[in-house]
Every structure is written in C-alpha cells, then in structure tokens.
Amino acid sequence: MRTKMVAGNWKMNKNLQEGVALATELKNNVHNPSCAVVIGTPFIHLASVAEILKGSPIALAAENCADKASGAFTGEVSAEMVASTGATYCILGHSERRQYYHETTEILKEKVELALANGLKPIFCVGEIKDEREANCQNEVVKSQLEGSLFHLSEDDFRKITLAYEPVWAIGTGLTATPDQAEQMHAYIRSLVAERYGKAVAEDTTILYGGSCNDKNAAELFAKPDVDGGLIGGAALVAEKFLAIIAAR
C-alpha cells in the first residue's frame, strides 16, 4: 500500500520565531496521524525545527537545494547541508522555482540526483500553466517534466520520490482543480510511471495534489483513488487548517 501524505510548503513566510511557534503547535497536536506528515520550511528554520520535531511523527523538508554539490556558489544551500540539519525530504520542481528562478528540467535533474545522493527524499512537483490547460496540452507538459528530470532514475531511486501534481493556475489563486480534473491527471501520471517502471512501482508511488487545497476541499480531493494526499501552501501556515487537512486524509 502506498504512503498517504499531507505535506506543507511554507514558502517565504514566517520569521524564525514564528516558524518555531508553528512547528511547536503542530508537534503538540499531531500524535498518531493516519498519514505521513511533512512540513517544508525555509532553510534558516530547518535546524531549529528539526530539534522541535524530535520524537514527533512529523518529518521535515527543505523547499529547495542547490544544483551543485559544494564550493563557490554564494548564497546557495547544498543537499548535504540540508540533510545535516535533520531534514529528510526536499521539495523540488515547484512552479515558483521553475518560473521565477528559471529552473529547467535539466537543472532539476541535477537537484534530484544530489538530493538522493545525500539521503533526501524529493517531493517533486509537476504541473501545467493556465495557457497550457486551455490548449489542452497538460498531459504533454507533465510528461516532459517527468521524463526530463526523473525517468532516468533507477527503480530503487524512483521509489524514493513523492510526486506532487500542482496545476500552476491553481496555486495561491483560490482556483482548485476539480476532484475529477485532479483524478484524471493523477491517473495519467500513474500510467506514465507504470509504462516506465512497471505496474508495481506505479501502484506504490505517492502522488499528492497541490493548488488551493484547504480544510474545506481536502476531503473531496483525497476521496479520489489516485490522489494520495496534498501539498499545501497557504493553508499550511495556519495550524488549525493544516491539522484539519491532516485529519481529512
């Protein structure tokens, strides 16, 4: 049975004290969750939040890592540094990184490899922009993102990946993909994984939905057979909402 998961992506929100307070509140309220729970925080929060989460079922993710192992790359944070904080996941391929920081499928391929080489489990985001959905080419877009950054991996390494389908037009906009739209894409992604790695791997692959998923619509999205959980942005910043989404999974 594949892992069900609710993962939060704090993005560039919360200063260190606010982040520590939110992580503490989550730790105090998440005891025996019925799914894996992950929080993705800014780099500077990782070490402090890792301390707070000791003994908690909540796992910790970075929101990014460098595409280089080490050296003269001022301002970058390597996968090895991320892992040294106690984080065990790394969100990669988020549309904001693709769009604002020009992360290409090739750059993301490097990041995925470095994350894996340092023992981090990537939460890898794919998804189409609004124009691509309107032109009905979302399947081609998602397929090329998967092929370009992930499908070179061995089966063993691919099994360490969590996928997140995040239609870009639904991120932070309040526009959610309908449960049927999400299910259609998740089933398509699973079929691509099956073609590349076989049915058993596809059945074991966790595919999250992200894009204005919140405490009101999560249950309906999670009820779909190929939607294994959510990657949550805005609603992950409010403990009460994030806890309700975990309860919906």
Catalytic residues: 94, 166
Contacting range for ligand PEP; rule: CB under 6 A; set: 63-71, 74-82, 177-185, 227-235: 227-235
Site for ligand PEP in 150-189 (CB under 6 A): 166, 171-172
**235 is written with which tokens?**
């609603």
- Render 37-95 in DSSP notation, one character per residue: EEEEE-GGGHHHHHHHTTTSSEEEEES---SSSSSS-TT---HHHHHHTT--EEEE--H
Contact with ligand PEP (CB under 6 A): which of 79, 213, 221, 246? 213
Query: Nearer Cβ to ligand PEP, position 35 or 197?
Result: 35
**41 is written with which tokens?**
């925080």
Contacting range for ligand PEP; rule: CB under 6 A; set: 51-59, 65-73, 154-162, 205-213: 205-213
Query: How many helices and strands in the chain, by DSSP H and E?
Result: 12, 8
Query: Nearer Cβ to ligand PEP, position 96 or 183?
Result: 96
Beta bridge partners of 209: 165, 230
Query: Nearer Cβ to ligand PEP, position 115 or 197?
Result: 115
Q: How far apart are CA 241 and CA 175, in angstroms?
A: 18
Q: Is 93 in the site for ligand PEP (CB under 6 A)?
A: no
The footprint of ligand PEP (CB under 6 A) covers 9, 166, 171-172, 210-213, 231-235
